[in-house]
Structure 1
Amino acid sequence: DGVRKWNKDILIYLPNAPDQVLQEILNEVIDEINFLSETISLRLVNSVERSNFILFFGSGEDYVKQWEPSAANLIASNRGLFSIDYNSSSYEIVSGNAWIDVTLVADYACLKHLLREEMTQSLGMINDIYSDQESIFYGNYRCFTDYTARDKVFIAEFMSEKIKPGQCISQVLERITID
């Protein structure tokens, strides 16, 4: 099975605007991902028709009803999720969505973590890790708000021209150099 990756800009639509603090956090995350990526950029758009990615702030129930019915069995045990659709022959991600639970999570540090984690994993780095508890990719729920230095290197390498959609994991790991 090959690596899934975006080969075009991610145009993000927010069907329900977050509060000002969360909007600032989102802008920070977008800016940081754009800084780390050499292949694509993330931008907010003002209509669902122009978008290829929906970012939903709200309850899990509303997310399932409005955007991702297949997540119905996952919302009870999560406070954020993402889903991506990709071309099965080219492995290029063509669309996606993410959910951040602002109804059960009130702490901005945890919301920042959730937003950063779901947006980053929806780029194609979909797997959780369990070896680095401070990583944004750490699989157990923690509220670390920033990328680690290793996360930044991994994201930059993954979002470079070196990594192509469809490459197998071993090819990707050969091309990513993290100390």
Structure 2
Amino acid sequence: MQSIFLKIEGFSHFVGAFLGLCLCLGLSARPVFAQRLSPSQQAYFYAIALGREYGEACACIQKWTHPIRIYTDGAWNRSQTRLLDKILRRLHRWAGPLSFEWARQPGSAHLIIFRGEAQAFARQYVPQAARWLTINQGFFWLEARPTGEIQKAWVYVGPDTLRTRLARHLLWEELIQSLGLGQDSELYQRSIFFQGWSTRSRPSSIDRKLIRCLYQPEVQPGMSRAMLETVLGGRR
């Protein structure tokens, strides 16, 4: 198994040293990126990152803390695999040190991405998903520790060709949600997380900010909203 991305070494050490320097100089210890989130964007982060759309979840941060081994199953052709690879490379760029690897077998994967018939996905991977798949062409399911570290995830995209805008939208949305941004919202119509009907085929600028915010080192698994407000500077 070979990693398709290089893990960014030394990133957390740099951040720690920078924050220490800020403290010595009497500056704010809030992350530099978090200071670029407006109050409304911070509120959107809380709405999307705390809890998730399907299943039970604590109202706390859930995120990956190790490289993700990915296995694809179902009906994939070469062009669709290239699209998936492109999406993963973008997510790696936005999620900082988070990296992805290909798994040879489903048993060794952390994230399984299935494209095909809903019944086959539910039967083979997530039986409890059957009741949601009757009305959804895209779906994700997470297993996480009580402390918020994601251990396993499954993504389902319906059998429609990935050349359509809807299918591209679903693949983007479900993959991003499988990283820990698990809720939908009606706040931003141009967001990939928009709860209403959407065929947006790529994340918006605010979506990219949310991904970066979730995967900055200061945002830890298990954090509540009160803890996040302290880190992100939401209490003014």
Structure 2 contact 80–162 (Cα < 8 Å) conserved:
no
What's 1:165 paired with? 221
Give the AA of the match of 1:70: Q
**How far apart are residue 155 of structure 1 and its match?**
0.7
Alignment root-mean-square deviation, CA:
2.0
1:111 paired residue among 167, 170, 173: 167
Alignment of 1:70-81 (within 5 A): 70-81=128-139
**How far apart are residue 18 of structure 1 and its match?**
1.2
Structure 2 contact 162–168 (Cα < 8 Å) conserved:
no
**Residues 106, 123 of structure 1: CA spacing in aligned structure 2 closer, same or farther, 3 A cutoff?**
closer
Deviations 1:130-160 (A, max 9, x none): 1111111111231101111111111111111
CA distance in 2, matches of 1:172, 1:126: 16
CA distance in 2, matches of 1:96, 1:144: 23
TM-score, length basis structure 2: 0.69
Q: Within the alignment, does 1:86 sit opposite 2:144 as a pair?
A: yes
Structure 1 stretches lacking a partner, 5+ long:
none
Structure 2 stretches lacking a partner, 5+ long:
1-58
**Residues 116, 170 of structure 1: CA spacing in aligned structure 2 closer, same or farther, 3 A cutoff?**
farther
CA distance in 2, matches of 1:173, 1:84: 25
Deviations 1:27-71 (A, max 9, x none): 111000000112321222221132111110011111111111001
Alignment of 1:23-62 (within 5 A): 23-62=81-120
Deviations 1:101-151 (A, max 9, x none): 014x66521111101100000111101111111111111231101111111
- Highest Rg: 1 or 2? 2
Q: Within the alignment, does 1:149 sit opposite 2:205 as a pair?
A: yes
Give the AA of the match of 2:190: E
Structure 1 contact 39–161 (Cα < 8 Å) conserved:
no
Fraction of identical pairs, as percent: 22
TM-score, length basis structure 1: 0.90
Count, aligned residues: 176
Q: Within the alignment, does 1:136 sit opposite 2:221 as a pair?
A: no
